[in-house]
């Protein structure tokens, strides 16, 4: 312990030297900052609080170092121990001490310290511009390192070098693309909410402050995303990985090429037919080949390719190709003919119930209804039986035929129609005045494929059609 008679300057010098050794204190910078800065407590946000406490390690300083720095500066610059010769010097000493106490309050609280670190004026927010590959690591490594202090997740993956494996590089960029920052900007609020005269004014001030913080956070997120995107773009390792992926994909695609595609490329690349630029014949035959490939299976394409490649010369290959082309074209024509016939048959089989449903649907959905004929076709298909289906176009065509006076009952062949007419002439209505039902039973006997009701409905439709034409 020092005696009461110890010289004050000697004691102060000893304190300075001892504390400097404990917290790596930069004496020259600290005392020059404290002595040369003009302090105003109302403007404390503009001060460098770490320099006030002599913490040159700044955000890396431990809580113990912060406490030692607080004790040292508070002891040295307490107003009772500062010799002020003028009133202005005394005022400046008081203001300086208030700022020191504020620095102790902010840096001594972990939450407030993070808030101050978020707005640290010494932090370099610059992002490198276009960088040559040889300077990439030297340029970007310190940038990612200084921004890692704001990461919510610690420890932060490092950039690495050209020898870093692919998995580590992908983990690095995955982390930084999803970077979560701890930066907040409360200390940049222009006005404190508690400065309001009443509750509404304080709420309004808080709302303005909150909006300004969100704006700054958004700008910081954009800055970080820009940094990561530039790093990803200029990273020579990423470029090499993409090149390898393209080569691998290209090689894999060649191995797993579709049999039809391989056959098409083989035929088009070989001289199976005259390949003149702009030749109509070439375009026609190549188009025909593509259409026929859609009609065959991958196994058939593989078999044909093997057959063509197994021929000894080009003449044999051309002959085999032409034989296959003629045979496949003929089969395709037959299939198309059958499909057209089936489609035509399906489209014209309108029974009485279906036509009645069509008439009801047309009345239910009058002109002007959005997607009218789609609704009509859906209505007919929904309430019809025996799996009957019709398209919008077929519904329009049938409705026009009905409007022109054509009988609703369809599905009568020419032979059946002729049998019906002969039976009606043979069994007239005058012959069956007392038994009308018996007449239609006799008529139905002549039309073996139709029932009594179908014959009666057909006759009624024919009569109505004749009346409409008159």
In the chain, domain spans = 8-118, 133-239, 257-342, 349-411, 412-470
Q: What is the mean pLDDT of residues 39-56?
A: 80
| Packing angle of the helix pair 236-255, 166-177 (nearest 10 deg) | 110
CATH architecture of 349-411: Orthogonal Bundle (1.10)
Q: How high is the mean pLDDT of the chain?
A: 79
Amino acid 193: pLDDT: 63
Q: What is the mean pLDDT of residues 445-465?
A: 80
Q: Where is average pLDDT lowest: 26-30, 63-67, 316-320, 339-343? A: 26-30
Are domains 349-411 and 412-470 of this chain identical in fold? yes
Amino acid 469: pLDDT: 55
Side-chain half-sphere CA neighbours of 87 within 13 A = 0
| Encoded tokens for 220 | 């910081």
Amino acid 23: pLDDT: 43
Amino acid 273: pLDDT: 56
Amino acid 20: pLDDT: 46
Handedness of CA 12, 14, 17, 20 (dihedral sign): negative
Place of tokens 């400097």: 20
Share of the chain above pLDDT 70, in %: 80
Which CATH superfamily is 8-118 part of?
DnaJ domain (1.10.287.110)
Q: What is the mean pLDDT of residues 432-452?
A: 84
Is the pLDDT at 19 greater than 50, yes or no?
Answer: no
Say if domain 412-470 classifies as CATH 1.10.10.
yes
Q: What is the mean pLDDT of residues 133-148?
A: 90
* pLDDT classification of 276: cutoffs 50, 70, 90: very low
Q: What is the mean pLDDT of residues 95-124?
A: 86
Q: What is the mean pLDDT of residues 169-176?
A: 92
Side-chain half-sphere CA neighbours of 369 within 13 A = 13
Distance, CA of 384 to chain centre: 43
Amino acid 195: pLDDT: 66
Q: Which residue from 314, 326, 333 is spatially nearest to 285, judged by alpha carbons?
A: 326
Is the pLDDT at 8 greater than 80, yes or no?
Answer: no
**What is the pTM for the complete model shown?**
0.47
Amino acid 48: pLDDT: 81
Amino acid 17: pLDDT: 52
Is the pLDDT at 287 greater than 70, yes or no?
Answer: yes
């Amino acid at each position: 312990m020092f005696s009461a008679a110890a010289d004050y300057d000697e004691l102060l010098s000893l304190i300075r030297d001892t504390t400097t050794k404990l917290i790596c204190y930069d004496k020259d910078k600290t005392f020059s900052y404290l002595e040369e800065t003009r302090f105003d407590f109302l403007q404390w946000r503009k001060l460098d609080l770490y320099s006030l406490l002599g913490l040159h390690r700044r955000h890396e300083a431990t809580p113990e170092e912060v406490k030692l720095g607080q004790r040292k500066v508070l002891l040295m610059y307490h107003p009772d121990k500062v010799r002020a010769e003028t009133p202005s010097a005394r005022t400046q000493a008081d203001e300086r001490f208030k700022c020191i106490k504020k620095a102790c309050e902010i840096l001594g609280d972990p939450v407030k310290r993070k808030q101050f670190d978020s707005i640290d004026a010494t932090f370099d927010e610059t992002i490198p511009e276009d960088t040559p590959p040889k300077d990439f690591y030297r340029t970007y490594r310190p940038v990612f390192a200084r921004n890692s202090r704001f990461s919510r997740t610690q420890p932060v993956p490092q950039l690495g070098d050209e020898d870093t494996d692919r998995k580590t590089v992908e983990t690095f960029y995955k982390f930084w693309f999803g970077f979560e920052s701890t930066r907040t900007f409360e200390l940049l609020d222009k006005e404190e909410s508690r400065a309001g005269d009443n509750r509404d004014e304080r709420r309004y001030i808080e709302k303005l402050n909150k909006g300004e913080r969100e704006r700054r956070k958004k700008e910081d997120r954009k800055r970080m995303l820009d940094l990561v995107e530039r790093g990803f773009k200029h990273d020579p390792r990423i470029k090499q990985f993409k090149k390898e992926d393209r080569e691998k994909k290209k090689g894999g695609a060649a191995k797993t090429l579709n049999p039809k595609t391989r056959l098409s490329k083989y035929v088009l690349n070989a001289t199976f037919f005259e390949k003149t630029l702009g030749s109509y014949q070439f375009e026609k035959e190549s188009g025909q080949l593509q259409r026929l490939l859609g009609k065959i299976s991958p196994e058939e394409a593989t078999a044909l390719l093997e057959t063509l490649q197994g021929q000894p010369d080009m003449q044999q290959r051309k002959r085999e190709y032409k034989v296959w082309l003629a045979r496949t074209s003929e089969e395709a024509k037959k299939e198309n003919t059958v499909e057209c016939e089936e489609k035509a048959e399906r489209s014209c089989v309108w029974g009485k119930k279906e036509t009645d449903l069509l008439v009801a649907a047309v009345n239910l959905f009058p002109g002007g209804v959005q997607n009218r004929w789609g609704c009509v076709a859906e209505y007919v298909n929904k309430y019809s039986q025996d799996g009957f289906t019709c398209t919008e176009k077929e519904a329009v065509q049938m409705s026009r035929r009905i409007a022109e006076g054509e009988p609703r009952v369809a599905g009568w062949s020419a032979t059946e129609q002729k049998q019906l007419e002969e039976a009606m002439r043979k069994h007239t209505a005058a012959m069956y005045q007392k038994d009308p039902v018996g007449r239609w039973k006799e008529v139905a006997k002549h039309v073996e494929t139709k029932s009594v009701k179908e014959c009666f409905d057909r006759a009624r439709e024919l009569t109505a059609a004749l009346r409409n034409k008159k």
